[in-house]
Amino acid sequence: MKILITGGSGLIGTHLTERLIAKHYEVVHLSRSPRRSSAKTFSWKPDERFIDSEALKGVNVVVHLAGAGIADKRWNKRYKEEILTSRAATARLLVETLRGSKHDVTTFVSSSGISYYGTGDPTRNAFAEWDPPGNDYMAYVTVEWEREVAIVKELGIRPVMIRTGLVLTRNGGALDKLTMPVKCFVGAPLGSGSQWINWIHINDLCDIYIKAIEDTLMEGPYNAVAPNPVSNKELTREIARVLKRPLWLPNVPGFVVRMIAGEVAEVVLKGGKVSSKKIEDAGFRFQYRDIEPALKDLLK
């Protein structure tokens, strides 16, 4: 099986590529700036609606991971538009390219986000895949993103959307930002600290993608979150415990977080629980169900 990955040089794409190659899949990348990597890379320029005509040759599965980082920059009108177009418009280009060419693609697996549900009420029951979307900006982005991906079903291609939570990895990503204040003895919960953190270990996330590629019964959205989420306060305390660092500061007030981060702060300060039941019912077994062993593995 040959697999084409967009965003293959990113945090998730790098790990997934290594795992797929280890399983003897042929992996190729689609990149705005082709560079030397573990996979052959083809060029695409979404702004110019260009994809190298050789990129899809012999490909059976497309894995779409491309997208601007939600918290990489302070939000303004231009960056919010980039967050949207880097997801929805790139998915549209891929689908239109498939529609207009001969190919062997049977499966289209796309990244998505639990941002679909909005910031959520921390006191309500866990969000499941059949719940309606939220009404904030990132919920809107995710709805548009998934709508573009779902069109591939009209082409006889199986679509799967992986609604991903906070991805925990050993190097880089969110965990580095969470551990740095704790390592410097200035760690503290943010806002009320009661907001839920729906996390997932990178190994489990890659395994979910591999299952989505291999399991032809999987279709539509699946939440990629560990079965046992933790509050922001619990996560901060657990990081401190694993790192053997004290927590002595009071919570960082929400207004301070908003002053520093701007509009994106709402994503950090609010959050409801998200359910992993659907992916577990599909036969997936998590290696890391609880936060303590996940952190011990990643921070050791």
Are the C-beta atoms of residues 116 and 133 closer than 8 Å to each other?
yes
pLDDT confidence of residue 206 = 98
Distance set, CA 35 to CA 11, 20, 42, 72, 127 (Å): 16, 19, 9, 22, 39
d(CA 112, CA 221): 8
**What are the DSSP calls for 216-228, one per residue?**
TT--EEEEE--SS
Per-block mean pLDDT, blocks of 10 residues, the chain (300 long): 93 95 95 76 90 93 92 87 93 95 96 92 88 93 96 97 96 88 91 93 98 98 98 95 92 83 78 95 98 95
Torsion, CA 133, CA 138, CA 143, CA 144, rounded to 10 = 160
Q: Which residue has the tokens 């990597």?
A: 37
In the chain, DSSP assigns E strands to 2-6, 26-31, 40-45, 50-51, 61-64, 107-113, 158-164, 166-168, 196-197, 199-201, 220-224, 230-231
Quick one: which of 110, 298, 69 has its CA closest to 204?
Answer: 298
The two tokens of residue 39 are 């996979």
pLDDT confidence of residue 47 = 87
What angle do helix axes 202-214 and 11-22 make, rounded to 10 degrees?
A: 60
Q: What is the pTM of this model?
A: 0.95
What angle do helix axes 77-84 and 137-150 make, rounded to 10 degrees?
A: 30
pLDDT confidence of residue 270 = 84
CB neighbour burial string for 244-277, b if at least 16 within 10 angstroms, e if fewer = ebebeeebbebeebbeebeebbbbbbbbbbbbbe
Are the C-beta atoms of residues 197 and 230 closer than 8 Å to each other?
yes
pLDDT confidence of residue 37 = 67
Are the C-beta atoms of residues 109 and 126 closer than 8 Å to each other?
no
The residue extents of the domains of the chain are: 2-166+199-225+275-288
Under CATH, what is the fold of the domain 2-166+199-225+275-288?
Answer: Rossmann fold (3.40.50)
d(CA 42, CA 34): 6
